[in-house]
Amino acid sequence: VDLPTYPFQHKHYWIEAVQDTVDVEQAGLETAEHPLLSAVVLTADETGAVLTGRLSTRGHPWLADHAVHDAVLFPGTGFVELAVRAGDTVGLPVLEELTHEAPLVLPSDTAVTLQIIVRRDPGSDRAALEVYGRQDDASDPTGSWTLHASGTLTAAATTATITPADDLTHWPPPGADAVPVDALYPHLAGQGLHYGPAFQGVRAIWHRDDEVFAEVELPTPGVEQAAGFGLHPALFDAALHALAGADHSDHRGHSGQEPGPQLPFAWQGVTLHASGATALRVHLRPTGPTTIAVSLADPDGTPVATVTSLVTRPAPSIPRPADDPTHHALFHLEWTPAPALPGTSTPATPATEEIALHHVTADGPDMTTRVRSALRTVLGILRSSAGHEPTTSDRTPIALITRHAVSVADTDPAPDPAAAAVWGLVRSAQA
């Protein structure tokens, strides 16, 4: 066996991955200290803030496990998480209301830039909140922003907001019947809601009349991320899957719910009592014809979060990341045989239009010289034609005909390098 004549040097020569991080403090910003956000700017007049971040399935692979109708969709619980974090930034930790304006589709090959704008009402403990997104696109760096969610933040209540219905210390819930969960996620997939492992957190479901109870937990990879969130969106989203589980077993947890796959639409009274949960006890109860209340507690029954009212609606038709289906597409040239023209009885007539014909030869002792010779000749012809700037009436067409410049069929010989170079040069000039 032939071996190198020097000892193994233990060196590698591949390119190291570059971390997608930026020192925002060097730009005069503050670090957001959140997995989904990068920076925060508090306005000088103390009336608001702007939080920014970038979302992608590359930077946050678990987001790819939330797909609706074959499109990766940022979960509604993710908007709640972002809104609550924005509220904490300005000292208004309660999400009074939040409405989803437009779905946020995450492309597979690019990121989405987020802006969360908080505008505080002067002299009050309330602030308006808007969440905008814009797809990163090198071809359109000034693309338009889309409003994905809007709502209102408010100060924490001065009195306790925990009600007896939120007490989940007695577990399993007394008087409740267990519901099978084995078929839950195949059932949801059949409705167009495709949840990958990161979002398949339901472990048990019970029902008692119109109430639904559940146990959910983060899969192992998500547990390590939970500490950075107020309430991990995948865990929060899994808590809402219990509604579909009860419905699938003919025990409707929400009598006013429309048939079909449901997604969160409007939230009211969202309060986070503890952060970093990795497992939850869940209580979902109807509060009106189309609303439910949500109570979440940790495995010991300690309150984690409460939602006064949640309205869901059928999953909308999800737009693709770009309206143009060829956006970011890669193209290739395809040759199609041209049909033979039908015969004609009209005799040939002399051409009335002048055409400049040039015979180009590729001479030289080797291929490199032949290619350069052909390119120099054709380039001189093109420059000569463009140099005299003819008028429209006396402009003479130039026809350049190549042979074996490309292979149009599997049986064709390999392209001639000189002819191929001429072909490419002229196509570039036309462009």
34 in active site: no
Residues 6+ apart with CB under 8 A from 79: 98, 100, 104, 131, 148, 149
What the block records as the tokens of 4 is 């190198």
87 contacts: CB under 8 Å, gap ≥ 6: 93, 94, 95, 118, 127, 129, 153
> 260-263: long-range contacts at Cβ-Cβ below 8 A with a sequence spacing of 24 or more?
260/191, 260/314, 260/315, 261/68, 261/188, 261/191, 261/192, 261/193, 261/314, 261/315, 262/312, 262/313, 262/314, 262/315, 263/68, 263/76, 263/100, 263/312, 263/313, 263/314, 263/315, 263/316
Burial level of 328, CB count in 10 A (0-12/13-18/19+)? middle
58: which 2 tokens? 């590359």
Q: Which of 166, 194, 207, 237 is catalytic?
A: 237
Q: Which residues of 103-141 are buried (b: 16+ CB within 10 A; e: fewer)?
A: bbbbbeebbbbbebbbbbeeeeeebebbbbbbbeeeeee
The active-site residue out of 34, 60, 65, 66 is 66
* Dihedral, CA of residue 119, residue 122, residue 123 and residue 127, to nearest 10: -20
66 is catalytic: yes
Rg from Cα positions in the chain: 32
Measured CA to CA, the distance from residue 419 to residue 431 in angstroms comes to 19
Dihedral Cα 60, 62, 68, 72, nearest 10 deg:
30
Per the omega criterion (within 30 degrees of 0), is the bond before 172 cis?
yes
Looking at the annotation, which residues are catalytic?
A: 66, 237
